[in-house]
Homo-oligomer: A and B are copies of this chain.
């Protein structure tokens, strides 16, 4: 198994050259005090070290050992506790946290790159800090000042970890039908009872306390999604002086046997009158969740890229070293028994498909991170509204498209190894199993597509979409005289036109028939994603060609990968558009018996 090496050069290239993130940070109040290019650079460098040396080496053992459950206690795999401690001491747990409560206040553009390294090096482990960050975000956005002061500093420090408790056995996508109850008790607290499932790191031995954010229903709550409230429920009660008190009335009933991310504990959590505190307003729990979801969903998209990057590094190394058969044009290394895999066109197709997705995807997640930073820190209301619209529009694309392509990339990276990819030794099959969850959790990708098509496109009559389309159209126009860029602008414009065309079609049709939204959604999101990545690749080409690509294999590689992306991958948009245009009739025609 190749060692994980964080793709620092590409990350810096995107951050500093393609997007000039430092200029954005400098102009945004709330960010400019905390971050400058040197700090960012030092953080990236250190992140590369800690993921290569601390988390990556534990990934395989974590998968093989898994977590152990006994009498309600969960033991993490060997080394996880120490690694958690190392990350804690390095200050990584609060990287994006609010400085008012001890966080480091770093922008999402930078935190996203840290997340890619962490998740790419060890996804099972990486879920723990990810959940803590998500829970902290929701607490910071919606909880009372008292709760924030009591819980955030230890969450940001990593002394305590966080957990999100949403799903119930009968209620996954449809949270409106949850049954967990919250009964008001003394001291503004509530007693929570019910069973939650699929709770990542809901119980473990790495942190002193675990802070659960639990969705539950108040006694008088209206039915459906408008009757859900959010509660903070600690594993151990926290005394006034901040010390830990008695154990709360909750326990981990079991952990799941699952396909991958086996290093993490996926818990059944039983709440039996556990004491909790309301976060945000009564019955507005789903709103409180949505605040963090844009961040989390981008984080899951980034997990897809991370896993794909790890798989690519392994596959590329293998393709350079493994000798098998001769190049179609004749022996390249006559002195050896065979040529390396890399001479074969189809092996190159596989590697370039991965590279096109990963580097284009990394650009896209950084770009979305930039919009998240703007939405959070910009003061001017017009720009803020625009940023919020872009975040709303692009988040489901980032989550679903990057994880679908991430999984596809891991499968390709496994395929490069042939039979050796199917056995454990090289780690490629673990990456496939791990990456698979990213398409499912935090809103299954089909749900992301419905969110995009229904809430983000159709519901506002394409208003958000227009902002995005105008930006690309503007880019095309501004660069129409750039010789190096021109070959890419025409197919980019064609893809954009295709996307705009089906956007209009679906908006029109769905006014008559609501099924048109769900019938179009997944292929629409794909079409959107391929177009968005084409825009990213065009922006990369613009910078790489100006930096004198030929002399530097990093830059010339970018230009050639862009060629591959535009000629081999972007054409998929043609078929996707045609599928969307065919509408809902064919899929709605069948009775249940006809399936």
Contact = CB atoms under 8 A, between A and B. Distances in A.
Interface of A: 167, 170-174, 176-177, 197-198, 256-260, 266, 316, 320, 323-325, 328-329, 337-338, 342, 344-352, 355, 407, 411, 414-415, 418-424, 429, 432-433, 436-437, 439-441, 444-446, 449-450, 513-515, 517-519, 521-522, 553, 556-557, 560-561, 563-564, 567-569, 571-576, 578-579, 582-595
Closest 10 CB pairs of A and B: A345-B518, A557-B594, A567-B582, A328-B514, A575-B575, A259-B429, A571-B578, A553-B593, A345-B519, A564-B586
Contacts of A586: 352, 560, 563-564, 567-568
Contact of A418 (B172, B350, B352, B578): B172
A410 to B, nearest CB: 11
A384 B593 CA distance: 42
How many copies are assembled?
2
A368 to B, nearest CB: 23
Contacts of A433: 259, 433
Contact of A446 (B198, B350, B519, B574): B350
Contacts of A587: 345, 348-349, 352, 564, 568
B446 A419 contact: no
A324 B173 contact: yes
Contact of A594 (B257, B324, B560, B582): B560
A337 to B, nearest CB: 5
Nearest to A437: B422
23 contacts: A170-B323, A172-B420, A173-B418, A177-B338, A197-B419, A256-B423, A328-B515, A329-B513, A345-B518, A345-B584, A345-B588, A348-B590, A352-B586, A352-B587, A352-B590, A415-B445, A422-B441, A429-B436, A557-B594, A563-B589, A568-B582, A569-B579, A574-B574
Contacts of A436: 411, 414, 422, 429, 432
A429 B257 CA distance: 11
A519 B595 contact: no
A266 B423 contact: yes
Contacts of A513: 329
A580 to B, nearest CB: 9
A316 B595 contact: yes
Contacts of A429: 258-259, 436
Contacts of A197: 419
A420 B198 CA distance: 9
A171 B324 CA distance: 7
A421 B352 CA distance: 30
A543 B578 CA distance: 28
A334 to B, nearest CB: 12
Given A320-B592, A346-B446, A575-B571, A422 B328 contact: no
B594 A449 contact: no
Contacts of A173: 324-325, 418
A572 B574 CA distance: 8
B579 A571 contact: yes
Given A173-B418, A259-B423, A573-B575, 4 more contacts: A177-B338, A346-B449, A348-B590, A557-B595
A522 B349 contact: yes
Nearest to A568: B579
A499 to B, nearest CB: 15
A556 B594 contact: yes
A578 B258 CA distance: 39
Nearest to A177: B337
Nearest to A443: B418
A497 B167 CA distance: 50
B348 A257 contact: no
A429 B261 CA distance: 13
Residue among A266, A521, A594 with most chain B CB within 10 A: A594
Contact of A328 (B198, B518, B563): B518
Contact of A351 (B560, B576, B595): B595
Contact of A515 (B345, B432, B574): B345
B172 A419 contact: yes
A531 to B, nearest CB: 14
A351 to B, nearest CB: 6
A344 B421 contact: no
A558 B203 CA distance: 49
A347 B563 CA distance: 35
B256 A174 contact: no
A421 B440 contact: yes
A414 B440 CA distance: 9
Contacts of A328: 514-515, 517-518
